[in-house]
Structure 1
Amino acid sequence: MKKTTFKMYKLIRVIIVFFITFSLSAQNSQKAKQLLDDVSSKIKGYDNIVFDFKYSYTNPNSNLNQETKGNVCMKGDLYILNFMGITRIFDGKKIYNIVPEDEEITISSYDSEKKDDLTPSKMLTFFTSGYKYSWDILQNVKGRKIQYVKLKPTEGKDNVKEILIGIDIQTKHIYNLIEVDDDGGKTTFTINSFKTNQPLSKNHFTFTESKYPNYYINRLD
């Protein structure tokens, strides 16, 4: 479970960066700033976001090559993430990790001081400083013009060397995010489908224990 938990943590971090890096102050490119501002304005205007994604991690130095798919529903700080056979729910107060394979559920209270308790607001605070960004390459991806903006940390941040954010010029939506680590690892996060303002019930992000009658529930606090 430790490796899976780490991947879950890394994925959530990438997802949140996906949507919050756009409040960063411009440091070296007005064009990059304007494009990020346009994307930020669109993202903040949605009540909720639902998307399917492909996640891959490669590291030639350690001979790793992994790929999987998942989906996310986000509304403010609340989210439901399905990834690697695990469902993770954050209802604003508690985090629920549901593992059907083991019929086990781990429940913990959200702690803003803990590194692995991630929410959009916490990641917003984390990424609002310490980066410079610049205008990068323009690519044609199946008829879509994808403009990349490069973010480089001005100080060490979790082994991150640089982040590339691909933005669809026409829709001002994010196409993908590529995170390159100092050790040669590369995480690629690509949106396959993207929907907004979906009809969600008021209990959409509520964990219902009765749905899991045979599960072992591990309450950490």
Structure 2
Amino acid sequence: MKKLYLGTAFLFMGLISFAQQRDPNAKAILDAASAKFKSYQTVTATFAYANQNAQGKVMAKKSGTINMKGDKFNISFGDNKIFSDGKTVWNYDPSSKEVTVNNANKSESTITPQKLFTDFYSKDFMYVMGNDSKVGGKAVNIIIMQPIDKNKAFSRLYLAIDKASKTVTSATIVEKSGNKTVYSVGSMKTNAPLADAQFTFDQSKYPGVEVVDLR
């Protein structure tokens, strides 16, 4: 699993003033990564995420697999699963034997898994270049992003984009409290056949599960 260690770099990056910037160099890298991802019919990837407090202590770690096809996706981490057919989202929690059902939010401000790899940055963020780094020994560009909406719960988003493959390898979300969530992409397989049925929740496979419809 590839992992990005930014360490004390955040102390220096935090001093960068955006001043409503959209750095053209950063945009070119983001656009290239977006175009590369959009060229795939399907994507299957392993991932890991870690929650850290403001002092950098890891509070929780999880890993899983994500499948994406168009605006559809499913995510598995442990026994927890999330399904979306692009219109509806089912969130299955085995500990409570419950699945909650919501409408998929397609607003510009919502970051879906697909948007994280494509053009979510186009309207809602300012962005500048950070210092280059390495992930798993590979050179990456760091893009520092700041939401235009100051009411967001997070203040910064750091994307690591592989210079050679033009793919997103890591995303670090920094909350206003200083807590961080780090998502790291591991292996990635593209254009493998994925049946549409795997992006919806099949209640017959989960007997005894309570369905909580919040739509």
Which TM-score tier does this pair reach, normalised by the shorter chain? Answer: 0.7 to 0.9
- Correspondence for 1:138 among 119, 132, 142: 132
Deviation at 1:62, TM superposition (A): 11
1:31 matched to 2:25: yes
1:214 matched to 2:214: no
Aligned to 1:14: none
Contact 1:110–1:117, Cα closer than 8 Å, also in 2: no
Contact 1:79–1:91, Cα closer than 8 Å, also in 2: yes
Contact 1:103–1:216, Cα closer than 8 Å, also in 2: yes
State the AA in 2 paired with 1:135. Answer: M
Q: Distance in 2 between matches of 1:160 and 1:45?
A: 30
1:115-140 superposed Cα distances (whole Å, 9 cap, x missing partner): 9896857xx89753242211211123
- TM-score if structure 1 supplies the norm length? 0.74
Q: Distance in 2 between matches of 1:63 and 1:204?
A: 36
Deviation at 1:220, TM superposition (A): 4.0
1:41 matched to 2:42: no
1:93-135 superposed Cα distances (whole Å, 9 cap, x missing partner): 322222223332233444658x9896857xx897532422112
Aligned residues: 194
Q: Distance in 1 between matches of 2:181 and 2:43?
A: 22
Deviation at 1:37, TM superposition (A): 1.3
Deviation at 1:43, TM superposition (A): 0.7
- Correspondence for 1:177 among 166, 171, 175: 171
- Correspondence for 2:79 among 85, 96, 101: 85
1:166-190 superposed Cα distances (whole Å, 9 cap, x missing partner): 1111111111011112211111110
* Structure-to-structure mapping, 1:5-20, within 5 angstroms: none
Aligned to 2:158: 164
Contact 2:93–2:99, Cα closer than 8 Å, also in 1: yes
Deviation at 1:36, TM superposition (A): 1.2
Q: Distance in 1 between matches of 2:120 and 2:181?
A: 19
Cα RMSD of the aligned pairs, angstroms, is 3.1
Contact 1:111–1:117, Cα closer than 8 Å, also in 2: no
Contact 1:107–1:220, Cα closer than 8 Å, also in 2: yes
Please list every run of 5 or more consecutive structure 2 residues that lacks an aligned counterpart in the other structure: 1-19
Q: Distance in 2 between matches of 1:96 and 1:168?
A: 32
Q: Distance in 2 between matches of 1:220 and 1:142?
A: 41
Q: Distance in 1 between matches of 2:132 and 2:23?
A: 15
Aligned to 2:15: none
- Correspondence for 1:71 among 61, 65, 68: 65
Q: Distance in 1 between matches of 2:194 and 2:66?
A: 13
Aligned to 2:143: 149
- Correspondence for 2:100 among 103, 106, 116: 106
Segment drifting more, 32-41 vs 127-136 = 127-136
Q: Call closer, same or farther: CA 1:126–1:200 in 2, change over 3 Å.
A: closer
Task: Answer 1 or 2: which has greater helix percent.
Answer: 1
Identity over the aligned pairs, expressed in percent?
Answer: 26
- TM-score if structure 2 supplies the norm length? 0.76
